[in-house]
A and B are shown apart, each in its own frame.
Chain A
Amino acid sequence: MKYLYYPGCSLEGTAREYDSSTRAFMTAMGADLTEIEGWTCCGASAAEAVSELLTLVLPARNLALAEAMKPSGRDILVPCSACYLNLKRVEEKTRVSHALRDRINEALAADGLAYQGRTRTRHLLDVVSRDLGAAAVARHLVRPLTGIRVAPYYGCQCLRPYAVFDDPESPRSMEPLIAAAGADLHPWTMGAKCCGASHMNTKMEVGLKLVGAILEAARGADAVVTVCPMCQMNLEAYQRQVARQSGTDCTMTILYLPQLLGLAIGLSPEALRLDLNLAVTGAFLEKLQHTATAA
């Protein structure tokens, strides 16, 4: 299992623990990740607000770099849902329109690059749930997360508009993985609801409302698990503001999926950089301690 790896900007900054835990978990599961040399920003949600062509050219630059890497034929693994959609959109659109690919290549020529359309971009959850699979996690299990109740949060852009590996409205791909980790499932219907994305920066009152509804529905779980740095940030960083607005406590542990699965296969909280998360409660760490002594 060899992959090219596109971390994206967040994973070098506010989501460093997502990068560390993805690398640690994937390596422990026997996968080999090679970072795309010279990668740059995919445009995030900012390019689309400014320019149609830039929205396609910024991700295409990275696809062109990936395509040039040897040996060829490796899928591109992307942990961030926004990066994933931006890269995937270029693959999908250029597959059906060679005129568009030519237009993108005219721009890329300014950087001495060209994109042929031979890449395959995959979201981390796609790779973990289908290439690795729950059975492999179960085989590597050394610390069953017994008694820990987990709410799987998928967000939007790994599911929509391109439904590749899961149901885009009622996703379930994390459920077998949570079960394989020995944890319990928190049943809810908020897994594919929007967290507000960058509204938290430009229209905070709107973002707080969406995040509030998700955290409210998560009550009763020990942790929410995410697969996107923006979802993670929105759910973990504004819990105090949500509580102030709604008048109810909504303190909740928010983890990245490879952190949760990494704990189950015996990686240490240090290796998974749990110290970098903004919301890990004492109650959660206590429960985790209990699973460690039981193992």
Chain B
Amino acid sequence: MALAEETAIELGTMPEAAEALAEIRAMVQPCIQCGTCTGSCPNEFAMDLTPRHMWRLVLLGRTEDVLASRTFSLCSACYMCTLRCPRGLPLTEAIGRLKQLAAPRHLPHLRSGDLFYRNFIDSVRRHGRVREMEFMSLYFAQMMNPWLPLRYAGMGMRLMRRGKVALQLPSRGSGRLAKLFEKVAEMENRP
């Protein structure tokens, strides 16, 4: 509990989250806590919990503590832990499930990833293909950090000079993949 209390996160619908976490727990149930995942992770240096520690909390059903950590959001899907896990567990895939569990809860400590992926996938829904400049502009606007775009300004200019990206106004309308997205949402919301 300590971790969740420190960060004072409002988790909202916790019973639902606990249910979803139970599914993820089943994926990693045979974990023997050997720590090979931690030793294989390129992003471990930036995590608050080591991957091994996070999996232990998943096994214990400590949903609040897992969602309060940044660990799963720091997975870059390199699949090294999945490759090396001596129990053959689908660890990277289980991390994906944790990301899906956290996404609708809009947790403040995961905001940058949330906004990035949401704008990316919205762009895909609208156009069928991602428009890099459009979704990055929306991402920057929603992050509301005036310094952030400056870190990418030099690169943006170089890309525009080469005609690789162009300034585009976000288009509206229902979207090319709208029907498919709606169907997927309907299927996922079935009880």
Residues of A at the B interface (CB closer than 8 Å) are 9-10, 12-14, 16, 40-41, 43-55, 57-58, 61, 103, 106-111, 156-157, 160-161, 163, 168-169, 193-194, 196-199, 201-206, 209-210, 237-238, 240-241, 275-276, 278
Contact = CB atoms under 8 A, between A and B. Distances in A.
Contacts of B45: 209
Interface residues of B, number: 53
Nearest to A277: B162
B183 A156 contact: no
Q: Chain B: interface secondary structure?
A: helix
11 contacts: A13-B132, A40-B177, A45-B77, A47-B124, A54-B184, A107-B187, A194-B43, A194-B80, A206-B43, A210-B43, A278-B155
B33 interface: no
Nearest to B97: A52
Contacts of B184: 51, 53-54, 57, 107
Contacts, number: 161
Contacts of A48: 77, 96, 99-100
A222 B77 CA distance: 29
A203 B151 CA distance: 12
Given A110-B182, A156-B79, A161-B83, A13 B164 contact: yes
Nearest to B177: A40
Contacts of A194: 42-43, 76, 78, 80
Given A46-B121, A202-B116, A161 B92 contact: yes
A14 B92 CA distance: 27
Given A206-B74, A276-B162, A49 B117 contact: yes
Contacts of B151: 204, 241
Q: Chain A: interface secondary structure?
A: helix
Contacts of A163: 83
Which of A163, A169, A199, A275 counts the most chain B CB atoms within 10 A?
A: A199
A160 B100 contact: no
A43 B43 contact: no
Nearest to B96: A48
A41 B128 CA distance: 6
A109 B186 CA distance: 13
Contacts of A193: 42, 78
Nearest to B121: A46
A160 B78 contact: yes
A237 B154 CA distance: 9
Given A160-B82, A161-B83, A194-B80, A110 B179 contact: yes
A202 B112 contact: yes
A110 B183 contact: yes
Nearest to A47: B121
Interface string B115-155: 01110110010001111110010010000000000010011
A52 B188 CA distance: 9
Interface in B10-62: 42-43, 45-46
B3 interface: no
A157 B77 contact: yes
B112 A46 contact: no
A61 B103 contact: no
B120 A44 contact: yes
Contact of A106 (B133, B164, B187): B187
B137 to A, nearest CB: 13
B76 A202 contact: no
Contact of A61 (B159, B180, B187): B180
A240 B128 contact: no
A160 B80 contact: yes
B159 A14 contact: yes
Contacts of A9: 129-130, 132
Which of A12, A53, A199, A202 counts the most chain B CB atoms within 10 A?
A: A202
Contact of A14 (B79, B97, B132): B132
Given A54-B121, A108-B180, A199-B43, 16 more contacts: A13-B165, A41-B124, A43-B121, A44-B120, A49-B96, A51-B184, A107-B183, A110-B180, A160-B82, A169-B83, A197-B76, A202-B112, A202-B116, A209-B46, A276-B164, A278-B159
A66 to B, nearest CB: 16
B176 interface: yes
